[in-house]
Structure 1
């Protein structure tokens, strides 16, 4: 009797799994369901983000150590965005109460001050907190800043980039990392970013140090 009960229970579980899987599969292809999930089309136009007239500046210095070749182009970007589901953004509906967020990638100039040494200036509070939607003050903090390097500017080459979080920038940290020699100038895949191997991470321990050329990036308040 117990064996029969166990068999019936197992069969019921299998039926329930198959049924629920079928529901999930149908839901994933149902246009009505997908429209309720993807609510981006309901977002109002993003307002222009106001600039702080007196932002806090930090200098970033990126240094390459024994790179396999030159880097002829460098650009910088500051990533600003509101926190997920910040109530200052309008509710777009949807099944999870999705709210519109604010985000902007702001470029900054990066100059090569000497072979293998690049300098840029970032601002950790460049966007003003403001009531952008009439729902309360939106705080749009900088999340991170990154410097991107191109070896030759040839089509399809690998991009090399290093970044610092806002916390790392404000604490005037030094971040040490590295890239594979074999990724320069193209690691075999067109228009991709090279893998970074930060010092002290498990990923770094899986490669030979002789296969890497090192890079560090540091910040200093101006």
Structure 2
């Protein structure tokens, strides 16, 4: 699996969520099922990898996804994880209690405003829609109560859309607030502090989502991220999937020239 920042961070976050879910649901069957999905995720990093890119990676080679709907692909794994996460608020435990979901409040006076710019270069065609999202997560888990019986802690998360407007040829802009969510004592265990995980651009062609995230450190330090995607992936749109691309165009080797890029950057806008 490509060990660039997106795949590594995304895998880390997803593994963390799945581990929490396994502890919450308990039971050997559930734990085994979640572990199987973790292993599948580790073996499959992209929906449509090129032959050259899979051969170029050091160490154990990822399983090549054959496009068969019956074969679990990355989108299937993401959907399974999302489904399990969505079920957490409905879970009842042995003592009859349920996990509390906080009523997340908006900061009435947000000040940390950032302009998000998305630039597409070399795409072989248009996109059906261009969307943006910001993912937030409570940073200090000590403010979150332990789940009854199992003792797991699940940090609250929230995803907020960004309205991206086309401002030029292949250029889209939008705004976000890093302090959009209200820091508050949601559980009676101290103030929970919200933190940005990433701001992401999602460009869709039929059923394919070309995703490019700008993670917290790069966002706050004025850096940018560029992801490269295969033109062949752009033309392969019959299945629902998420394409996270590559951080290095050279990963595509012989097909390196048949690629396009998505760059995401953030600029702080002071009052």
Q: Given that residues 132 and 138 in structure 1 are in contact (C-alpha distance below 8 angstroms), is that contact kept between their aligned partners in structure 2?
A: yes
| Unaligned residue ranges in structure 2 (runs of 5+) | 1-26, 31-87, 93-97
How far 1:69 sits from its partner (Å)? 0.2
Relative to 1, partners in 2 of residues 1:121 and 1:160: Cα closer, same or farther, differing over 3 Å? same
Max Rg structure: 1
- Please name the residue that 1:80 is paired with: 136
CA 1:213 to 1:110, structure 2 compared with 1: closer, same or farther past 3 Å? same
Aligned mates of 1:194, 1:137 — CA distance in 2: 37
Separation in structure 1 between the aligned mates of residue 238 and residue 149 of structure 2, nearest angstrom: 38
Change (3 A) 1:100 1:218: closer
> 1:43 touches 1:100 (CA, 8 Å); kept in 2?
no
Retained in 2: the 8 A contact 1:124–1:166?
A: no
Query: What is the match of residue 171 of structure 2?
Result: 117
Q: TM-score if structure 2 supplies the norm length?
A: 0.60
**Aligned residue in 1 for 2:180:** 126
Return 5+ residue gaps in structure 1 as ranges. Answer: 1-26, 31-37
Structure 2 residue aligned with 1:70: 126
Q: State the alpha-carbon separation in 1 of the partners of residues 126 and 251 from structure 2.
A: 27
SS of residue paired to 1:184: helix
Residue 150 (str. 1) matches residue 196 (str. 2): no
The CA RMSD over aligned residues, in Å, is 2.5
- TM-score, normalising length from structure 1? 0.72
Paired residues, number:
180
Instruction: Give the structure 2 partner of residue 59 of structure 1.
Output: 115
Cα distance between partner residues in 2 of 1:164 and 1:29: 36
Deviation at 1:147, TM superposition (A): 1.2
- Contact 1:70 1:116 survives alignment (8 Å): no
> Deviation digits for residues 24-64 of structure 1, max 9, x if unmatched?
xxx6249xxxxxxx894320242233324123111111111
The equivalent of 1:43 in structure 2 is: 99
SS of the equivalent of 1:74 reads strand
| Pairing partner for 1:180 from 223, 230, 234 | 230
**Contact 1:108-1:122 at 8 Å conserved across structures:** yes
Q: 1:52 to 1:172 in 2, by over 3 A?
A: farther
The one of 145, 148, 155 equivalent to 1:90 is 145
1:115-157, CA deviations, whole angstroms, 9 ceiling, x for partnerless residues? 2111111211111211111110101111111111123xx4xx2
Using the TM superposition, give the Cα deviation of residue 206 of structure 1 relative to its aligned residue in structure 2, in angstroms: 4.8
Aligned equivalents of 2:266, 2:163: Cα separation in 1 = 15
Q: Does 1:198 align with 2:198?
A: no
